Amino acid sequence: MRLVLLGAPGAGKGTQCKHIAAQYGLLHLSSGDILRKERAAGTKLGKKAQQFMDSGVLVPDEVILEMMAEAIKKAPAVGFILDGFPRTVNQAVHLDKLLAAGDRTLDAVLNLKIDDRIVAKRMTGRRSCPQCGAVYHIENLRPKVEGVCDNDGAALVQRPDDGPEVVANRLKTYHQQTEPLVDYYKNNGTFFDIDADGDPDRISSLIFEKLDALVNSPEANKDVKRKL
Ligand SMILES: [Zn+2]
């Protein structure tokens, strides 16, 4: 099964991808993780990406595309779930071409839908431990003592990424880039909107229902069935 998971920053993409990958035995391909690994390993692509990041500009489509194409080609036959990619319509068009070249298509695109105000609250409420990296939340995941890490007693901080202005900007960018992507996928194949406000396990069950129905439907791609 080949899947794409879309969703705003803070919508819970990482968690849901892990659940889906575990449930169906898929490879979880996170563009952020792959980028970090390439950089850490100092590969040609990693170095290229690093140059852009050092100068404070977004890593261009072509570098991301090359990196993801390599990862997708190496993916096992059982399939994969893409996380953080594609991010633009241009990337989606290239992904379709890449899959078509191997006589493949995407089986489904899942879109985690959630109100901006809710994700903003989720993200700006996060507090992190500068010593051990533990993450807390001022409402949902409080430390035993306010403002202090349970593990080592360090004072918790709000990472710059979780500040209100940065969060607002990330959401704005997401909507600008991704709303056209949602339209692209709605008109191209199997697309599911998933209500992503609530308990992560309940959201996973909603997703599993959709995917099970897809796999078991009489019209289901024989390819999908065989590989599951
Ligand atoms: Zn700590």
pLDDT digits (tens, 9 = 90+) for 159-196: 888 899 999 998 998 898 888 999 999 988 899 999 99
List, for residues 109-159, the tens digit of each pLDDT value: 999 999 999 999 999 999 999 999 999 999 989 999 999 999 999 999 998
Cβ atoms of residues 151 and 161 within 8 Å: no
Torsion sign over Cα 198, 202, 208, 214: negative
**Cα 212–214–216 angle (5° rounding)?**
65
- What mean pLDDT is reported for the chain? 90
Cβ atoms of residues 160 and 167 within 8 Å: no
Q: Is the pTM of this model over 0.75?
A: yes
Distance, CA 21 to ligand 1 centroid (Å)? 29
Average pLDDT over residues 34-53: 89
pLDDT at 185: 95
List, for residues 16-28, the tens digit of each pLDDT value: 999 999 999 999 9
pLDDT at 26: 96
For residue 178, list its beta bridge partners: none
φ and ψ at residue 27, rounded to 5 degrees: -85, 130
Average pLDDT over residues 199-203: 94
Q: Identify the weakest region by mean pLDDT among 56-65, 117-126, 201-210.
A: 56-65
3-class SS of residue 99: helix
Q: Spell out which residues have Cβ within 5 A of ligand 1, the ion.
A: 129, 131-132, 134, 149, 151-152, 154
- pLDDT of 218 > 80? The answer is no
Pick the catalytic residue from 2, 122, 127, 170.
170
- pLDDT of 61 > 80? The answer is yes
Termini Cα distance of the chain:
7
Burial (Cβ within 10 Å: 0-12, 13-18, ≥19) of residue 108: buried
Cβ atoms of residues 153 and 142 within 8 Å: no
Pick the catalytic residue from 2, 13, 127, 227.
13
d(CA 197, CA 25): 25
The closest alpha carbon to 64, from 40, 38, 100, belongs to: 38
Active site residue 126: yes
Active site residue 170: yes
Pick the catalytic residue from 2, 87, 122, 227.
87
d(CA 71, CA 31): 9
